[in-house]
Structure formats: C-alpha cells, structure tokens
Structure 1
Amino acid sequence: MIGAWVAGCMALAWPMISQAEEAKPNITPAPTVAVSEEPLASLARPEYAISLYGDLKYGPEFTHFDYVNPDAPKGGTLLDSSTGSFDTLNPFILKGDAAIGLGLMYDTLLVQSMDEPFSEYGLVAQKVEVPQDRSYATFFINPAARFSDDTRITADDVIFSFNTLIEKGNPTYRQYYASVDHLEKLDDLTVKFVFKPGDNLELPLILGDIPVLPAHYWKDKDFSKTTFDIPVGSGPYMIKDFEPGRHITYVRNKNYWAKDVPSVKGMYNFDTIRYDYYRDLDVERQAFFAGEYYYRGEFSSREWATGYDKPPVRNGNIKKDLIPNHQPRGMQGFIMNARRPLFADHRVRRALQYAMDFQWLNRAMFYGAYQRTDSYFVNSELAATGLPHGEELDILNKFRDKLPPDLFTKPYSLPDYDQENGRRKALREAMTLLNDAGWELRDQKLVNKKTGEPFRFSLMLRQPGFEKIALMMQTRLRQLGIEMDFRLIDSGQWINRLQSYDFDMTSFWWQQSLSPGNEQRFYWSSAAADQPGSRNFAGIKDPVVDQIIDLVISASNRDSLVQRTRALDRVLLWGDYTIPQWYQPADRLAYWNIFGRPSVVPTKGNSMMTWWIDPDKSKKLGKGGY
C-alpha cells in the first residue's frame, strides 16, 4: 500500500526504535458492510468509495469515520517537535531535506480508512469508477474542491500533478506509477487513468493517494529545485511562517472546503501547529518537560522506564499512554549494502547476524521492553512463521532450485546467545560461514584468503542512542577478527548518503501496511536497486523476489495476498540482508494533559490529527492557546 511510502517521500524522518503498548483503549473491529450485491470492482459506474477486494466498512450514507469525534472543538495550538533540520518546502523531490508536516498542505483524490486493510473514500474526487478488470480508473472531482487561494481544483490540476511527479518529482514516483498507460481529460472535473495490461488490483487505490498540486501556482516555477517559497496547497493547513532549520508553523485554513466531507469530518482540529527543531535528543526531551511542546512519541525504552519521573508527570499534568498499533511493524534493522563486494556473499551476511546479542541488549539496555524483529511484516498475519505450507509452499516450490534448501526444512531463526554455550556456538557458526566464503583468521585479523585484504567496514549512524549498541556489535565482531568503525552524522547528510547508497551499513525501518502491494517493488526489486531514491537500500537483486512481488501485487483476494506476502517475507529473511533489531506492537505517547481524543483507536493506530485541544484543560494549565 502506498500510504507509508508517500509519508516517507514527504519527509525522510523515520524513527529508528520501535514503539510500545497502551492502557485499555476501546478498539473496535472493522466488520464489512456490503454496499451492493456484487463486488464493488465489478461495477463500471461511479461509486463513493473503493476497496482492494470489494467490501467496505462504511456505507454510502456514512457521515464520519468511527475513530473521530465529529463534534470535536476547533481551536488552540499544538506545539510539536522534530530533530535535525530542513532546507526546502518541496517534499516531492529527491533534493533537500523537506520540512516536517508538509503533507498537511495537500489533499489527495481519496482518503484511506484507518480501520480497514485498504479502503479509500472520496475527498478531492467525490466518486471513482472502476471496471471489473480494473483496466482504468475514472475520478470525478468534487465541484466544491478548492486550493488554499480559493482557486477551483480541476482535471487539469490532477493531470498536472501526475505528470509533474513522474517527470520532475522523486524518481520513485516514476516507477510507482509506471503501470499507467495514459490519462484522458473527459471534462473539466473528470479524469480517466488508463492502465497498461497486467494484474495490478491496487492501482486505482494507489492513484487515489496522489497529492493534488496547483498547476497555476507552479506554472512559472521550477518544480525540480528546492525552495523556500511558500506554496499554494490543497489541504487543511497552510504555512504561516518558518525559519529554516529552526521552526515551521501551520495555520488551519478556516475556509477549507472539505471540513464537512465525511472522510475528514472530525479531523484537523488545531487552529495552529508549530514544529520546533532540535539538534540534540536530550535537549528535545527536556524541552518537553518544560512545556516547550505538548506531545511526544518516546522511542527510548530506557527513558520511558526511568526518564519520566518528573514533577509534571507525578502531578498528572503530563500523561503517559501506550497505544496499541495493529499495523505490521515492518523490518527495523542494520542494513548491509549488498552493492559492496564485502557484503555480496550471502554467507558473509549470515555470519554478521551473530554480531547482535539481542537478549543481552533487551535486558541491559531496553528494560525488557522489546521483542526481536523476525519478519519483514512482524506483528501481523502477513509474517512467515514455522515451515511453509499451502499456497505459500506452492509458490516457493516453483523456485526450489534457486532457494536455500534449509528454507523448506527449517523455520528461519536468529542467533540466541541465551541458549547453553550460546556465545561459543554463535562464534563457531559465524566463523564456519566466513571460512566457506573465503575468509580466514591471520594474527587475530579476518582477511581474504586470496588477497589478504582485512575485513573492515563502517556503520553509518544518525542517532546518538545507537552508539552504545554499535560498541556492543564492535566487540562481538572483533572476536571474529572483523573491524567495524562507526560514525554519527547529521540528518541531512545521512539522508543524502542513504538515497545515493553511499554506505556500508546503516540502520533503517521499513514500515509496512496491512495490504502490501506496489511499494514492495521499491523496497526489494532488482530495478529499484539501481534507482537513486528508492527504498531498496540493501541492493537486493533477486529474480525470485521480483517474481513473488508481482504475485503479491496481483493477488485476487485477501487469503491469497497473505500467503504470497508470507512467501516474499520468507525469501527476504533467508537472504539475510539485515541484522534485525527489535519492535514493540504499540506506540509510547507522552503528552501534556490539555487534549481530548476519540474513545476509539483504529486498527492502524493513533493519529494525532484526530485529537483536539480541550478548552477547560488548556486554560487550567495555561497551555494550548485558550
């Protein structure tokens, strides 16, 4: 699904440590409601919504999503924070480090529901028409839709947005929309996307996520360049002011045309949202306790366990909550860049798995808060477990001669230092793999048997908290004769080097959705490995992975999607492209007690844009703008 991928393109500000759990929220299931006697995809007529496999939770007369408060008061100020810096207000291009929050300025054609696997409801496009074979998608623009300067949104703007993103935007857009053959303007408010032949059931929904850009604003501007010109948007917020690298403030557009549209009703309740930038994580955390900003996701288990014993927490002015997140947690790990000859051999990558003593880390540094990441779709039914069976096994059998034999006979596992003689076994197994791959110990140094070159590489970091973990890995690797140095760099440099694949090893979190699809090509495909700006940071080039990705994208029902995704997960795991880290199936949130929030938490987790400032609480604490 494109949602997480678009968010990443908007601003590369990925957290690197997993989140946590919650205090008993009211989490409702998402029963499906038939909206017709046959699947929606078979109806070649305009509909108010679309889902991947035809069923929708919300009927045509719905007034708002269940996870919002439609009567939430509007007003007040949300003060928030970010780390690093920014040097552009254009989040759609590869150049620069975009400011946080720019996605608030842009509406999409449709809106994803947060309590269904992959369903979208009307926004800029009030209806969408898709035939049974999904060979095209026609979007019918809401006549009331307006940009922030009150200019009408038309078919020309949608066509401009699509063409501009694939021609001048981040190169990943070009690949992501590659299955679109051409566009047709049917009238001023109607656009038809015609698709190339193929089984890509989610393509109409992918196009529903296109951000709508104003053609008239960009007419005489160079879209491919970074800029500090404040752009015209199509979403609920506009930029009020900013200081490069220090802060940016958004103001709610009180004339926002869609404020009563069911898919956004009850959201975007803050009059003002300001993000202050911090270069130091400890300074940022202390600023929160001082009331400099009001809402904080905590990514350090140590700080969550020991760092919140502060007066405002003890007296109830600051609340701590654990909010369940039923999304797949994705793969968070240390990525080995397989483009580097050092990491090209699978046996070497497998050997380096033994550098991570997770059990010790979890006890000594994480207060037992985490679980080991053992899947690219961990925390979901999409994760491969046990041995393959059913459709998953049928798929893998087609590639049996190209896959490791152990994949069919052993569940994938990671080193366990806590087992009897665990450390000794780990070192022995790692050294056996390295010897088989052409390395040997000479004078306590691991060297290439043929060239005598030492095994040496660098770990690129951007978070100070990871230095202690790097030290532990460094010690383990020295026992194998491997020299690993590590370097902490600033966020902008880290992003530039990541996007150009200029690293040996780094840390990253690939986030996933409940409905994986096209975005998997840009995470793992051979084509993406050579495309700057893709998410295939590991440099994976495996024809088996390519073919299974195609099967995932073409899945015709939910059961098949699950089985095909498990096959993809298993092949990626046995490729050992990362040293998996850790996760927690919930979000740690701390916030000043000035907010109201809905009683229902959707299956995809909390969204701050459904909260609001409570006037009475705000006045009591003197925060929040009331």
Structure 2
Amino acid sequence: MTALQARAAISSCIADFRRIGLGALTALSAAILAPSAQAEEETIVSHGYSFYGDLTYPEDYTHFNYVNPDAPKGGELSISFVGTLDSMNPYARQGRAHAFSVFMYESLLGEGGAGTAAPADVYGEYYGLLAERLEYPPSKDWVIFYMRPEARFSDGTPVTAHDIAFSHNLLLDQGFKSYADSVRRAIPKVEVIDDHTIKFYFAEGISRRSLIEQVGTVPAWSKKWYEETGARLDESRLETPTGSGPYVVESVDIARRIVLKRNPDYWGKDLPFNRGRHNFDRLRLEIFGDDTAAFEAFKAGEYTFRAEADPKRWATGYDFPKTREGQVVQKELPNGNPPVPTGIVFNLASPVLQDKRVREAVALAYNFEWTNESLQYGLYRQRASFTQGSPLMAEGAPTGAELELLTSLGDLVPPDMLTQQARIPHVSNAERLFDRRQARIAMRLLDDAGWTVGDDGVRRNAEGTALTLNFLFNSAAGATLTAVMENFVSNAQKLGIDVTFEKVDPSQFTARERDRDYDLLYDSYAAFLAAGTGLTQRFGSEDAAFSLFNPAGLASPLVDALIDAALDAETREEETAALMGLDRALRYELIMIPLWYNPSHWVAYYDQYEHPDIPPYNLGYLDFWWYNQDKAEALRDAGALR
C-alpha cells in the first residue's frame, strides 16, 4: 500500500531550518547531564530526543503548541478507502491492510496516528510516550528507556520492557527482510533490565543516525497476546494484537468498513503528549471498489471527510447543493512537507532499462505541460527533486560544501555532475500531447542505444528483439490519473516502443509490485529532510534486490557513499551538503519520471469539524481536529447526513 504523504510549503521548511541553524552542534537544551548507573561516563538524560540535542518543548511542557488543549471529545470522523483490503496486518508480505490497522499501537517515543508526525510543528524531534525518559552517552553507543509504570494495554495488562523487547525481536524474526537485515546489523543486543527499563546496544563502526529513534518508535505489541494466540507477524490475518493506544477495533467487515472506537480506559489520555489530541469517539473507514462510487457516497453523506487527489474533481466536482448551501466545506490547507516523490518508476532489473538512454527516451514521452493544462486544470506544479522546495534541494551546479564532498568521492562521481546543473524535467508543448521536438530527441537516444525502427514501426535491436515494456497499473486509480498514464503510454508507443498498459486489481497490483513483476510502475519513494537509516532501505545497494521501499531496485555506489556521508555527518552543514548531493545523484540516476505535486492539502468535509492552525508536518484530521456537536445536529436536522 503506497503511502500518500505530504507536499512542500517552502517557507515553513526554510523557517524551520533557520530556526535549527547550521554549523556546530547546538546546546543540549532539554537534556541534563547525570551520572549513569550503567557506565562511568556522564550521560544525557532527557524527556525527548533529537540527534543534535535541541528540543523545542521543555520537560514541563503541557501540550503541543498547535493543538487546542481544550478541544471537546466526542463524535465521529469517517473517511473512505478505494480498493480491496484483506488483512489487518500491514507487516506481512501477504495481504493488503489499511493504516487503520496500526492506530492501536504506541511506542516508547510517541508518534501521530499511523506513524504521522507528533509533534507536527518541528522536524526530527521525539518525545516520550510509553517512556517517560531516556538516557544515553554522548557517543550514542547505547540507550536506556525508562518506561511509565502506568502504561496499559487495552485488556488492562501492563506494558512492560518485556513487551518492547518481544516486539523488537518479532520484527527481526518475522518482519520485512530489508528492515530486519538493516536493524540486525545496527542493533546487536537488547537487554531488559527490569519490568520497566530496557537497554539497546548499537554496533561499533556505524553511524549513530536514526538508531535511538529507530528503537524508540517500534510498535509495542503484547507478548502475552502473541503467545496465547500463536499468531505470526508474517501472516495475513483479520484479528489484531492488543494495543495500548487511545483507540481499539470496534468492528471489521473487510469488504465494507472498519470502525475504531475510543478506549474509555486509555491509560495516557492526560499526558501532555496527548492533550488536545484523539478527540473523536469513533473513526470509521468506508471501503469502495472505485473512486466514482466513493465520491457519490460522500455527496450522499455516507462518510464525512475527504482528502481529494483528483484535480478535475477538485476543480469541477464539488459544485453540488450541499457545498452551495455551506453544509460541505471545501478548503485548501497549507502543507509544510516536501512532496512525496511520486512518478513512473523504472525497474532497473529490466535489461532494456539498464541503458540510461532508453530511460531518458521513455521519460521524454511524458508531457507535463499538456497534462497539467488539459487534464489537471493547471492546478499542479512539476516536481524535480526528492526534497522539492526544501533547503536540501539541489539547484544549479554544485558549489561550496556540496562540491567539496562530491569532489572528495573521486571516480564515483560522473564528471558532468560536478559542472552541470541538477537534472530538471524537460519542458514540452502545452498545446499538443505529442511534442515532436522532444520526440525527435527521444528517437535519437533510442537509435544510439541500438533500438532502430523497422517497417512495422516497432523498435528492435540487432538481434531482432522488439523493445517491449510492461506498465503495471492499479485499476482502482481515479479516472484522471488513468487518463494521464494512458496518454503517456500512447506517446511512448509513437516512439516505436511496444508498451503494454496492464491494469490489474489492487490485490494483484500489491503482489506483483512486491515481486518486482513490471518494467514500469506508478509508485513513490519517500521524501527526506534529514539523514536516517531509512535512506539505506529506500535507496541503498545492499537491500536493493528485495527492498519493498526501493521499487526501482536502485543500487548505486555513489548513492551509497552519499548516504554514508549524511549518516556520518557531525554538523548540520555537513548533513545538508551530503543530502543535497544525494538529491542531485538520485535525479542523475533517473530512477523514475517525476510527475507533479500539489503544494496544498485539498480537503472537503461536512461542516461539523473544527481545527487549529495547521502545523507544517501533519494535516492531522485524524489526530487533533475535533467535533462540533451543535453543527452536527444542525446537519442531521437538515437531512444532510445519513
């Protein structure tokens, strides 16, 4: 299941980086130095963690700045899902689960619902949830978490260090291979000191980036539940492990809906971390076979909140009586994250796509300008970067610290990367889908690569083999996205490439995506604003052959070296230079055709919800919005809601 996260609001990213500042490590403002019971050296003891030690919220914070601490509790928020689901276990290769399946679980260092940011107004900061404090040496060779004794699973049993160790090991033994292999190398030992104290040891000779937050954000599952049920993490299933979070599963009808309800006995409801959050009594997911049916159900009031992704519908579809009468609100809300790097991904294991000239030619078949004006109402901007709009975005030719780093990598760096501007998408004719100028460039590239056109218009190599590509596509996608991809395929076929546009149902799509059974795929990577071990899972060579987070199968020594440089950075300036170089290298490798992005959140909802000013890193409708009882009753009295 592809996560759709955020887009860029440049000003807030820049403001955050200016606030953080570049250069040497900032003071450990929120931490205190204390003698360690575990070692002779002085250690840092803190209520939260960031790699450089700077924390926005002090130990005595009462709530996050962006929430309404007095938000009323109650009501329901309901959303839709388009496609098929057959599991409540997102950690198995088999089956397809929704984000609702992880809402019940918490971690030592807290997050927002389904892994979203909390706090959502700062980047790279973590605060204790199941853990009330953590301790680590300046070397970050290990970390100890001191857990809250009052923490309870929804069945009333305590959450202990034994559960944390069990969960950590369960992910290693039965979780995704790329994750498990990476974590085993970095975290060789975990020690339960007592029922509420746990220590993780980190391997020598590796970067300390992301290790503490890695172990601190593992979901806490009940060891007792797994032992009693005999369930496995690597198997598809509908039953869910006991969690400690604010919501529990009320009902699951995998073909129709999933309902979560507030746990009235939730142990953490009064923590500063949670104040002003988790405001709805129920969260409901309605499941539909296609997006047209889902939108009609929204208009009829079958569910109440919609995050819109279709530009045509956003521009024209919301002119219906309920919006005209103010019963449905249509809003554009700010988004401070860099946009998700979504695009047409090349499977680099495909022999014909290993020639970069072929990839460049195929990329020229995409006409953003015509697509945006003719199908997307001019609402989008073209994405170029994996960190679009952030201070990490590579622009122009490399200079300063970035140039010094790239030069130090010697022959790993292609000479033209040192002198040319970062790769940007081509510009096409907005008035004609098939841009003949770009087509001529593409045809020359294909000719140079040895794929020449025969009398039948099909390109073949010297052995007579036709240039064929399979484009795997999810049939549940909306009509506009489908039309965009069909037009791209049409353009590629006019270049003499035999492209099969294969639309399959969501279950087949998920299975074949995991098996890398495609040449082209509409998919996404994850944007980044800081160094982390997740970079190796997404872009690194070691796990490239099987990582579910690297659909192109990218394996580049240059990319590996830049990831290592980012992970080994000792200052923000060094980290910024390495990540800027990484963005430049990823674009140079051309692992996907970058498409478009929307700098705002498009949302529509029945006028019974309220929200604070939206923070940069989380829209938060399932997290810190709230329900207005009077408005809801007025909607029901008017017959607007079912």
TM-score (norm 1): 0.92
Rounded Cα–Cα distance in structure 2 between residues aligned with 1:155 and 1:19 = 37
User: 1:337 offset after TM fit, Å?
Assistant: 0.4
1:202 maps to what in 2?
Answer: 210
Whether 1:470 and 2:490 are equivalent positions in the alignment is: no
Whether 1:447 and 2:456 are equivalent positions in the alignment is: no
2:101 maps to what in 1?
Answer: 102
Rounded Cα–Cα distance in structure 2 between residues aligned with 1:587 and 1:521 = 29
User: 1:612 offset after TM fit, Å?
Assistant: 1.0
Residues 260-297 of structure 1: CA distance to partner in whole angstroms, max 9, x if unpaired?
11112111111111111001101101111111111100
Residues 99-149 of structure 1: CA distance to partner in whole angstroms, max 9, x if unpaired?
341221001111242111200001001111121011111111101111010
Residues 429-481 of structure 1: CA distance to partner in whole angstroms, max 9, x if unpaired?
21222222221112153434321111111211111433311222123223321
1:222 maps to what in 2?
Answer: 231
Q: Does the 8 A contact of 1:183 with 1:194 survive in 2?
A: yes
Closer, same or farther in 2 for the Cα pair 1:513/1:323, shift >3 Å?
farther
Closer, same or farther in 2 for the Cα pair 1:246/1:575, shift >3 Å?
same
1:521 maps to what in 2?
Answer: 536
Question: How do residues 150-189 of structure 1 correspond to structure 2 at under 5 angstroms?
Answer: 150-178=156-184, 179-189=186-196
User: 1:350 offset after TM fit, Å?
Assistant: 1.3
Q: Does the 8 A contact of 2:446 with 2:452 survive in 1?
A: yes
Closer, same or farther in 2 for the Cα pair 1:596/1:472, shift >3 Å?
same
Count of equivalent residues: 610
User: 1:168 offset after TM fit, Å?
Assistant: 0.7
Q: Secondary structure at the match of 1:242?
A: strand
1:430 maps to what in 2?
Answer: 442
User: Which of the numbers 228, 249, 257 marks the counterpart of 2:259?
Assistant: 249
Q: Does the 8 A contact of 1:137 with 1:192 survive in 2?
A: yes
1:550 maps to what in 2?
Answer: 564
| Larger mean Cα displacement after TM superposition, 401-410 or 76-85 | 401-410
Q: Does the 8 A contact of 1:448 with 1:454 survive in 2?
A: yes
Rounded Cα–Cα distance in structure 2 between residues aligned with 1:419 and 1:166 = 50
RMSD: 2.7
User: Which of the numbers 121, 124, 131 marks the counterpart of 1:118?
Assistant: 124
1:393 maps to what in 2?
Answer: 403
Amino acid at match of 1:418: N
Q: Does the 8 A contact of 2:461 with 2:467 survive in 1?
A: no
Residues 272-326 of structure 1: CA distance to partner in whole angstroms, max 9, x if unpaired?
1111100110110111111111110000111100110011111111111111111
Whether 1:612 and 2:626 are equivalent positions in the alignment is: yes
Q: Does the 8 A contact of 1:21 with 1:588 survive in 2?
A: no
Q: Does the 8 A contact of 2:16 with 2:122 survive in 1?
A: no
Whether 1:147 and 2:170 are equivalent positions in the alignment is: no
2:297 maps to what in 1?
Answer: 287
Question: How do residues 190-589 of structure 1 correspond to structure 2 at under 5 angstroms?
Answer: 190-197=197-204, 198-220=206-228, 221-223=230-232, 224-411=234-421, 412-418=423-429, 423-443=435-455, 445-462=457-474, 463-465=477-479, 466-531=481-546, 533-589=547-603
User: Which of the numbers 3, 25, 34 marks the counterpart of 1:14?
Assistant: 3
1:75 maps to what in 2?
Answer: 74
Q: Does the 8 A contact of 2:83 with 2:506 survive in 1?
A: yes
Closer, same or farther in 2 for the Cα pair 1:117/1:29, shift >3 Å?
closer
Q: Secondary structure at the match of 1:413?
A: coil
1:7 maps to what in 2?
Answer: none
User: 1:534 offset after TM fit, Å?
Assistant: 2.3
Closer, same or farther in 2 for the Cα pair 1:21/1:568, shift >3 Å?
closer
Q: Secondary structure at the match of 1:177?
A: helix
2:113 maps to what in 1?
Answer: none
Q: Secondary structure at the match of 2:145?
A: strand
Rounded Cα–Cα distance in structure 2 between residues aligned with 1:43 and 1:419 = 63
Runs of at least 5 residues in structure 1 that lack an aligned partner in the other structure: 1-11
Q: Does the 8 A contact of 2:344 with 2:522 survive in 1?
A: yes
Whether 1:129 and 2:135 are equivalent positions in the alignment is: yes
Rounded Cα–Cα distance in structure 1 between residues aligned with 2:274 and 2:203 = 32
Q: Secondary structure at the match of 2:569?
A: coil
Residues 480-531 of structure 1: CA distance to partner in whole angstroms, max 9, x if unpaired?
2112121222222111111111111111122324324111111111122122
Rounded Cα–Cα distance in structure 2 between residues aligned with 1:523 and 1:201 = 16
Rounded Cα–Cα distance in structure 2 between residues aligned with 1:434 and 1:515 = 38
Rounded Cα–Cα distance in structure 1 between residues aligned with 2:49 and 2:324 = 47
Residues 149-201 of structure 1: CA distance to partner in whole angstroms, max 9, x if unpaired?
01001110000000001111222330342310101111111110000012222
Q: Secondary structure at the match of 2:46?
A: coil
Closer, same or farther in 2 for the Cα pair 1:21/1:566, shift >3 Å?
closer
Residues 32-81 of structure 1: CA distance to partner in whole angstroms, max 9, x if unpaired?
79663989899614310111211111111101101111111111111211
Q: Secondary structure at the match of 1:351?
A: helix
Closer, same or farther in 2 for the Cα pair 1:379/1:28, shift >3 Å?
closer
User: 1:625 offset after TM fit, Å?
Assistant: 10
Q: Secondary structure at the match of 2:266?
A: coil
Runs of at least 5 residues in structure 2 that lack an aligned partner in the other structure: 21-25, 35-40, 111-117
Q: Secondary structure at the match of 1:219?
A: helix
User: 1:577 offset after TM fit, Å?
Assistant: 1.1
Rounded Cα–Cα distance in structure 1 between residues aligned with 2:222 and 2:31 = 37
Q: Does the 8 A contact of 2:209 with 2:532 survive in 1?
A: no
User: 1:550 offset after TM fit, Å?
Assistant: 1.5
User: 1:359 offset after TM fit, Å?
Assistant: 0.6
Amino acid at match of 1:428: R
Rounded Cα–Cα distance in structure 2 between residues aligned with 1:440 and 1:618 = 65
Q: Secondary structure at the match of 2:189?
A: strand
User: 1:29 offset after TM fit, Å?
Assistant: 6.5
Q: Does the 8 A contact of 1:35 with 1:59 survive in 2?
A: no
Closer, same or farther in 2 for the Cα pair 1:534/1:553, shift >3 Å?
farther
Amino acid at match of 1:569: D
Whether 1:36 and 2:51 are equivalent positions in the alignment is: no
Q: Does the 8 A contact of 1:242 with 1:249 survive in 2?
A: yes
Q: Secondary structure at the match of 1:475?
A: helix
Amino acid at match of 2:450: G
Rounded Cα–Cα distance in structure 1 between residues aligned with 2:60 and 2:28 = 10
